[in-house]
């Protein structure tokens, strides 16, 4: 999926701490999500030219304030950033990157509560956790979620991958789950499924 | 006369009689839950400072009441708030805060700890917190995905509740079949069914 600024959100993001060398696999629309890692690991992926997203709240040593947003987007060149707080997501979007605001969907009451508040601006989508719940949401609940929608968490089996890709614009997979999808040869086909 | 809640075993046996427990978010829904056949009513959203008369009404009708400490308004989510709920007559308290489980049990209420399933890498942290805090019951959220992730959960030796996005009879049956003792739902048409 490519938005009006030309930012491409791959259909599949492989979760990684960023320390190992990484080449995008052939035959699939796959990018990288850097999470649970350090500032140093981030810098090794700066301006790599690859589709790399960052979970700003899980990077040791990194705040989520304006300076941190500008560092990620302007200095390191990341164009997709996941954030817990609406102000952080808004700042990322103002800088011209795609922000994905974390939405915790553990029950319908909590989902609606987490979507309360001022309307989001353009350039702010949703990162729904756990992503595995997305196929269980009603059409009215899916419609509440600003797009693009990233399904994030507990997506493991090929059937789960297919179900989530049908209702999300992109999904996060662990390295193990992605390897399983590659082995089964399903990745290229799954990545083409329209949401 | 001071109210004494039932012990956890009694609470659980009554919960299991009609295993889709009403989860209420308004006063009107609470009243409809009292009219259902369910033995236990869960209060999700309400003014936590004004619960005593509602809990008393439930007790007069032979129902037990569990209160979600993290979601009701007016309470901070500390030990004093647990004591307040005890004095209000609550039979069980639900919270994600593991450090409150001992206080809940000390107040002779049933302690229900929430396990939020968000990411696989965070699961071990949540499970470790439950082992440390030793609640009486674990509520898994979002419950609707429990059949898909049950294989990832070790046997904690604790009864499981499942709540979150449970909407159909088939959802409830699938959850009971995969080992949940009971289910919580705000869908009123599911409340009074025996699910034999």
pLDDT confidence of A121, banded at 50, 70, 90?
confident
For the record, the structure tokens of B12 come out as 């659980």
In a domain, A1, yes or no: no
Say if A87 is an interface residue toward chain B (CB within 8 Å).
no
**Pick from B117, B141, B165: which is nearest to A136 by CB?**
B165
In a domain, A93, yes or no: yes
Domains held by chain A: number? 1
pLDDT in tens, A160-169: 898 999 999 9
Query: Taking residues B166-178, what's their average pLDDT?
Result: 95
Query: Taking residues A142-147, what's their average pLDDT?
Result: 93
State how far the Cα of A181 lies from the Cα of A171, in Å rounded to an integer: 13
Residue range(s) defining the domain that contains residue A106: 12-191
Q: What is the pTM of this model?
A: 0.88
pLDDT confidence of A3, banded at 50, 70, 90?
low
The CATH homologous superfamily of the domain defined by B8-190: Aldolase class I (3.20.20.70)
In a domain, A68, yes or no: yes
- Say how many CB pairs under 8 Å bridge A and B: 65
For strand A30-34 and strand A37-38, is the pairing parallel, antiparallel, or unpaired?
unpaired
- Determine whether the interchain pair B148/A130 forms a contact, defined as Cβ–Cβ distance below 8 Å: no
- Determine whether the interchain pair A105/B145 forms a contact, defined as Cβ–Cβ distance below 8 Å: no
pLDDT at B146: 94
Query: Taking residues A32-49, what's their average pLDDT?
Result: 90
Say if B117 is an interface residue toward chain A (CB within 8 Å).
yes
B61: DSSP letter: T
In a domain, A3, yes or no: no
Query: Taking residues A65-84, what's their average pLDDT?
Result: 95
Choice between A140 and A181, residue whose per-residue pLDDT is larger: A140
A26-55 residues touching B, CB cutoff 8 A? 36
In a domain, A122, yes or no: yes
* CB-CB neighbors (< 8 A) of A104 in chain B: 116, 118
How distant is the alpha carbon of residue A9 from its chain centre?
Answer: 8
State how far the Cα of A108 lies from the Cα of B188, in Å rounded to an integer: 14
Query: Taking residues A36-42, what's their average pLDDT?
Result: 92
pLDDT at A109 over 70: yes
Buried b (16+ CB within 10 A) or exposed e, A113-134: ebbeeeebeebbbbbbbbbbbb
* Domain definitions of chain B by residue range: 8-190
**Pick from A104, A106, A154: which is nearest to B149 by CB?**
A154
Query: In this structure, what CATH number is given to the domain that contains residue A75?
Result: 3.20.20.70
Phi, then psi, of A171 in degrees rounded to 5: -135, 155
**Pick from B71, B120, B163: which is nearest to A154 by CB?**
B120
Contact between B108 and B90 (Cβ < 8 Å): no
| Residue A27 vs residues A7, A173, A186: alpha-carbon distances, Å | 20, 16, 10
| Residue B44 vs residues A7, A52, A68, B80, B168: alpha-carbon distances, Å | 40, 39, 37, 19, 20
Q: Report ipTM (2 d.p.).
A: 0.81
Say if B189 is an interface residue toward chain A (CB within 8 Å).
no
In a domain, A7, yes or no: no
- Determine whether the interchain pair A107/B141 forms a contact, defined as Cβ–Cβ distance below 8 Å: yes
* CB-CB neighbors (< 8 A) of A133 in chain B: 142, 144-145, 164-165
């Amino acid at each position: 999926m490519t938005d009006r600024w030309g930012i491409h959100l791959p259909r599949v993001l492989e979760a990684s701490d960023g320390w190992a060398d990484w080449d995008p696999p052939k035959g699939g629309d796959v990018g990288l999500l850097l999470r649970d890692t350090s500032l140093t690991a981030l810098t090794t992926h700066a301006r790599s030219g690859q589709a790399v997203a960052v979970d700003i709240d899980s990077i040791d040593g990194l705040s989520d304030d304006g300076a941190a947003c500008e560092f990620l987007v302007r200095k390191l060149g990341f164009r997709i950033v996941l954030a817990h707080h609406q102000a952080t997501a808004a700042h990322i979007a103002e800088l011209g990157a795609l922000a994905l605001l974390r939405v915790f969907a553990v029950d319908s009451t909590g989902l609606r509560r987490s979507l309360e508040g001022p309307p989001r601006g353009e350039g702010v989508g949703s990162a729904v956790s756990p992503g595995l719940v997305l196929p269980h949401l009603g059409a009215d609940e899916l419609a509440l979620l600003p797009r693009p929608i990233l399904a994030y968490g507990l997506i493991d089996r090929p059937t789960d991958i297919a179900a989530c890709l049908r209702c999300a614009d992109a999904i996060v997979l662990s390295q193990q789950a992605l390897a399983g999808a590659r082995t089964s040869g399903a990745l290229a086909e799954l990545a083409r499924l329209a949401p | 006369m001071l109210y004494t809640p039932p012990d956890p075993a009694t609470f659980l046996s009554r919960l299991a009689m009609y295993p889709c427990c009403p989860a209420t978010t308004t006063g009107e829904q609470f009243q409809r839950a009292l009219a259902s056949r369910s033995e236990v009513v869960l209060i999700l959203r309400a003014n936590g400072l004004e619960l005593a008369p509602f809990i008393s009404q439930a007790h007069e009708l032979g129902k037990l009441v569990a209160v979600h400490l993290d979601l009701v308004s007016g309470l901070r989510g500390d030990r004093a708030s647990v004591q307040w709920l005890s004095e209000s007559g609550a039979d069980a308290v639900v919270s994600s805060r593991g450090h409150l489980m001992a206080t809940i049990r000390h107040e002779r209420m049933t302690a229900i700890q929430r396990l939020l399933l968000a990411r696989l890498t965070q699961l071990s942290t949540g499970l470790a917190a439950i082992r440390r805090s030793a609640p009486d019951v674990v509520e898994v959220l979002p419950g609707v995905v429990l059949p898909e992730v049950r294989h990832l959960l070790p046997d904690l030796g604790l009864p499981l509740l499942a709540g979150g996005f449970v909407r159909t009879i088939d959802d409830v049956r699938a959850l009971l079949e995969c080992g949940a003792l009971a289910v919580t739902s705000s869908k009123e048409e599911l409340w009074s069914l025996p699910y034999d």
